[in-house]
Amino acid sequence: MSFEEGADLSASHRCREWLAAVLGNTHVRWGWFVEETLVKVEQFPAHQPLSWPQQTELWLAPVGSAPLPPESPWVHRLELSQVPLRDPYPGLGLDRALALWAAGIHYGWPCLVIDAGTALTLTGADSEGSLVGGAILPGLGLQAQALADHTALLPKVQWDPQDPLPPRWANDTVAAIRSGILHTLLAGLREFIADWRRRFPQGPLLLTGGDGKWLHPHLGPLDPELRWDPHLVLRGIAGCRQLHRTARHSPSAE
């Protein structure tokens, strides 16, 4: 994979551009920034080797099994301790922490983030930006894959985010699998959102991740503050980079 291909930024941007990469289990998501503005996003399979323009600053969030690039003065690897989220527990996923912190600083606290990726996670923070907690379950594609892998006769159902919600009471096997996964998932998320609102009546709810765009119209009518932002983790990386640069150039750091 080469992020260099197709990156046609003007020469005036060259001294201000940098890259962020979220190294997941199935994909690497790249974000090209000019200063703090995200100008381009691309996604490639995780097994492909990383390549990017030489002497371009790269900030990494390793959150899955994708291989890391060789060490370099241009490469910065983020860790959970560098995310200024209050009261994270040891082992909290870096992507969950980055997305939640980005949601809070861009949209306000308290907030809840639903990240619908390979795994579907819910992560919330209170009005002080302290972690409340969350939940993890298999994402839509992973649920369909599990049925195919661990049963003798059930087919593998391809998940297409463009497909409409199937009827609840299906009359063929493929539709029945889709109905079971999708309607059950939506029912569970509605219950989580309702419980969150009992605890925190005000504040934004954010959907992100590959399947978040599909979930948004099905969950949006539940809450007027539910928003779709596909790039929360990249925004979190940008925020951490800015904090690092501010600290490095502060008088106390000299």
Residues forming the active site: 95
For residue 116, what are its two tokens?
A: 């619908």
Q: How far apart are CA 196 and CA 198, in angstroms?
A: 5
> Cα-Cα-Cα-Cα dihedral of 144, 133, 112, 240, to 10°?
-100
CA–centroid distance for 116 within its chain: 7
Q: How far apart are CA 204 and CA 237, in angstroms?
A: 20
The 3-state DSSP class for residue 174 equals helix
Please give the single-letter amino acid code of residue 11: A
Q: CB-based contacts of 228: which residues, under 8 Å, 6+ apart?
A: 206, 207, 208, 212, 213, 216
Cα torsion angle, 135, 139, 142, 143, sign: positive
Q: How far apart are CA 107 and CA 119, in angstroms?
A: 24
Are 196 and 222 contacting, i.e. CB atoms less than 8 angstroms apart? no
